[in-house]
Amino acid sequence: MVRAIFAPREGRGDQQGKERNIYYGNSEVGKPKLLDLFCGAGGCTRGYQQAGFYVVGVDINPQPRYCGDEFIQANAMSYPLDGYDVIHASPPCQGYTELNHANKAYYPKLIGQVRELLRSSGKPYVIENVDGARSSLPSSLLLCGSMFGLKVRRHRLFESNILLFAPCRCWHDRNFYSIHGHHVWNRAKMGPVRKDGRSRPGYGTFDEGLAAMDINWMRRQKELANAIPPAYTRWVGQFLLAAVQADCEVAE
């Protein structure tokens, strides 16, 4: 076990036996600071902001609509991890997802390397990815839009060195959206029949996709298809915030 290193709290030595101060993280921003690696347009970022973090996003591509507090265009695999209270990473999912037929060997599988980097930081961390990455994230928590009352079926795995719980079990009714590739799919509608006889769901509109994910700042299908609903990280963020505030010990 290593002790996570956080910025010192003012007057902490005087707090023994008294009510503890709440930790508000780096003084210059007045909130705990979270680094969101592979941030995209900021689906994860927004949830962490809602949970109470100041969020710095890093992405290799420009993200003109990034919703976080700061954006840095850089390679997440070599970006310095110092100066943050918590680190989140959403490495690209194309090499893991079961929803495309692309040659997976073409896409890097970065979860193992990312885990090593995050563990070496000694900070509370989260790695998020698609259901297809389960063998690379064996002790992860699964979250789904239905757990948050959203009309989106979007299973995502969250691994952390902080104990996480789900709010409840999945609850899929027939009327939900899924968002991947070039489309928003509406399961309440019947779409065209595939060659093998199975029917596709109908198409939904981009605006329906935004509403289903509870996202209002993205303007491109690619941004939305990459994103997770902020509700997931708003939930996970509460556990991280409690850990930061408790100066908790994190597993090596």
Ligand X SMILES: C[S@@+](CC[C@H](N)C(=O)[O-])C[C@H]1O[C@@H](n2cnc3c(N)ncnc32)[C@H](O)[C@@H]1O
Residue nearest to ligand X (CB): 43
| DSSP per-residue letters across 134-196 | GGGSTTPEEE-GGGGT-SB---EEEEESS----SS-----S--EEEETTEEEEEEEEEEEPTT
76 contacts ligand X (rule: CB under 6 A) = yes
Residue pair 134/157 in contact (Cβ under 8 Å)? The answer is yes
CB of 104 to ligand X, least distance (A): 15
Separation of alpha carbons 83 and 7, rounded Å: 9
Tell me the per-residue interface mask from 44 to 63 with ligand X, x by CB under 6 A, - otherwise.
x-------------xxxx--
96 contacts ligand X (rule: CB under 6 A) = no
CB of 207 to ligand X, least distance (A): 18
90 contacts ligand X (rule: CB under 6 A) = yes
227: exposed, middle or buried (Cβ count in 10 Å: 0-12, 13-18, 19+): buried
Amino acid of residue 206: F
7 contacts ligand X (rule: CB under 6 A) = no
Please give the structure tokens belonging to residue 250: 């994190």
Our CB check for ligand X shows the closer of 2 and 72 to be: 72
CB of 107 to ligand X, least distance (A): 10
Binding site for ligand X (CB under 6 A): 38-44, 58-61, 75-77, 90, 92-93, 226-228
